[in-house]
Structure 1
Amino acid sequence: MINFNIAQWRAWAPGLESADDWRAWCQAPVLLASSEAAPDVSFLPAMQRRRLSRLARMAFSVGWPLAEGLQHLPLVFISRHGETPRTLEILSDLANDQPLSPTQFSLSVHNAVIGLWSILRNETSEMTALAAAGDGLEHGMLEAAALLNEGAPAVLLVISEEKPPEAYASWIDDVPFPYALGLLLTPGDEWQLELTAATVQPSTTAQWPHALNLLRTLLNEQNACQHAWKNRVWNWQRKP
């Protein structure tokens, strides 16, 4: 069992940028139309912006405002699938006997986002990139809680998922649209997260990614939510 406070949050998806946008969506969630829209990251220099994929832009767009004014801020970055568009492009070049781009490869690896974050913010605190199946958010929370327990005054947690290319459709069905959620976590006991064993194997896929279900819990002022994955059940509880 771990305890923590959620001091601030930010989220982004195509057409959902402001807090009011998200409150409306959380009350009546709908599947968003396919879109090539990307978040505004004009706070970054133009040369650096050009290197960022949409996945990275989403992560920066929710994380940067939460980190404003904070120094020595540890980061936990979570993405189950990572840079699938870049990966597919690299694999396509290989299949077509085309030369590979070193830049594309370096930016396709799973810790590329935290590497760019460290460079652009001149941040040298602990950073972790996780890919932990369907309950990656909760594994990220465990990592963040460990950092808080070690004395960090705050930890930034960012989860970001890109809509995968059509070639991955048979294997990836848990990203209905691109999204990112950032949470600024601080020590406290406002929230409690507990892991229990599942008595029955979950048989259905959740309609929405759990990160967005957690956001719905936050914004709809609910006090609890649950996430089951394989033989694990994660219970989120907020003090009323």
Structure 2
Amino acid sequence: MIEFSVVDWAAWAPGLTTRSDWQAWARAPWPPEGEGTPGLSEVPAMQRRRIERLGRMAIQAACWCEPEQGADSTVPLIFASRHGDVERSMELLRSLVADEALSPTTFGLSVHNAIGALYSITRGHRGNNLALAAGKATVEAACLEAVGLLADGAAEVRIIAYDPPLPELYAEFIDEPAPYYAWCWRIAAASPEGTRLRLAWRGDTAQDDPPGPLPHALDLHRFLLSGKRHDERVIDGQRWSWQRVG
């Protein structure tokens, strides 16, 4: 079992661009949809051109969640995404099928840590930077990693969770809704500041819970905002239990 506090948050998804949008959404959630892309004014235009839609969402949420005094170049960051920027990978696969030369730039930006690297470059971040994927339980794994970093002496950790829809080619493997979204939590040691959460887990042979209207990672952001006291989900033989403390 672990405990921690979420001292601040930020998020971006199509149709959900302000804190009030997200707070209203948490009371009556729906899968985000639309063609919008964040402006990402925090990043110079020359660098912004290299960042695709998913990366802009993730980096926008991370920028908005920076402390008011500005970006901390040493705070540990965990970029948590189940699928990553899969469209860039698809572009490479299409080139292979067409027997075309692969773009080194597309390859470099398709790897799972590329969005975190782009954030570090554009914001001058020099601290610990992790890219993590753990299936549906990606956020739970990120929180475990974050608490470990806090125990190692970090004052806080930022988790940036994000995912896109999967291409039609992977339709038979889609096991939960997959809209575009990105959110960021600022995690600190458990205290009265912010929202204090407890996460426990144990093995469970029950079947996975059926998917709801939201991907699990986005549903956890809804849990944070909604004020709900408890949430539980069985994922791949593990029962994860979330509880609001205090």
1:160 shift after superposition: 0.5
Alignment match, 2:64: 65
Instruction: Verify the 8 A CA contact 1:9 1:184 in the aligned structure 2.
Output: yes
1:53 shift after superposition: 1.3
TM-score (norm 1): 0.94
1: CA distance, partners of 2:77 / 2:233: 23
1: CA distance, partners of 2:141 / 2:155: 20
Cα distance, 1:203–1:227 mapped onto 2, change above 3 Å: closer
1:220 partnered with 2:226:
yes
Alignment match, 1:74: 76
Q: CA RMSD in A?
A: 1.5
Alignment match, 1:176: 178
2: CA distance, partners of 1:174 / 1:185: 26
1:63 shift after superposition: 0.5
1:217 shift after superposition: 2.0
Instruction: Verify the 8 A CA contact 2:160 2:184 in the aligned structure 1.
Output: yes
1:234 partnered with 2:240:
yes
Instruction: Verify the 8 A CA contact 2:163 2:178 in the aligned structure 1.
Output: no
**Higher mean C-alpha displacement, 2-11 vs 193-202:** 193-202
Instruction: Verify the 8 A CA contact 1:80 1:161 in the aligned structure 2.
Output: yes
Structure 1: gaps spanning 5 or more residues = none
2: CA distance, partners of 1:65 / 1:31: 22
**Higher mean C-alpha displacement, 37-46 vs 217-226:** 217-226
> What secondary structure is seen at the aligned counterpart in 1 of 2:11?
strand
Percent of matched pairs sharing the same residue: 40
TM-score (norm 2): 0.92
Q: For 1:169-205, what per-residue CA distance to the aligned partner results, in whole angstroms no more than 9, with x for missing partners?
A: 2223434310111100011152211111224222522
Structure 2: gaps spanning 5 or more residues = none
Instruction: Verify the 8 A CA contact 1:67 1:73 in the aligned structure 2.
Output: no
Alignment match, 1:26: 26
Alignment match, 1:6: 6
